[in-house]
Amino acid sequence: MSKGKCDKKCNKKSGSGKFILGAAIGAGIGAIAGILSAPKSGKETRADIKKKAEKAAKATEEKVEQGIEKGKKTAESLKKKVLARSKDSKTTPAATPKTPNPKKK
């Protein structure tokens, strides 16, 4: 794969990831602002913040676990492809370049 193609694909993926991260941060800030401006007692407000924080932590943990699983699957897939290509190159004589023997002169 050429570097140009990877740059375009990688930038597109990271751009959408940045958007999602920004949206999540914005939603979190909006939720906190809404809680803090609500006409509740301090005790109720702290309880609401705690619930929201626990919910956000759980959602983040789930996303991290999903990312880890996806990474493991991708790594396993790439490993299989590399091993398959390695086996193919060992069985194909033309794929193995001949190196000169420096001892023969």
CB 52 within 8 A of CB 34: no
Q: Is residue 97 one of the residues assigned to a domain? A: no
41 membership: H or E segment, kind and range: none
Q: Is residue 93 one of the residues assigned to a domain? A: no
For the chain (105 residues), the mean pLDDT of every run of 10, in chain order, is 49 67 84 79 84 87 89 92 83 60 62
Provide the number of structural domains found in the chain: 1
Give the pLDDT score at 60: 86
pLDDT per residue as tens digits for the range 71-80: 999 999 999 9
Q: Residue 46: which domain range? A: 16-87
Q: Is residue 75 one of the residues assigned to a domain? A: yes
CB 15 within 8 A of CB 24: no
Q: Is residue 101 one of the residues assigned to a domain? A: no
What is the pTM for the complete model shown? 0.46
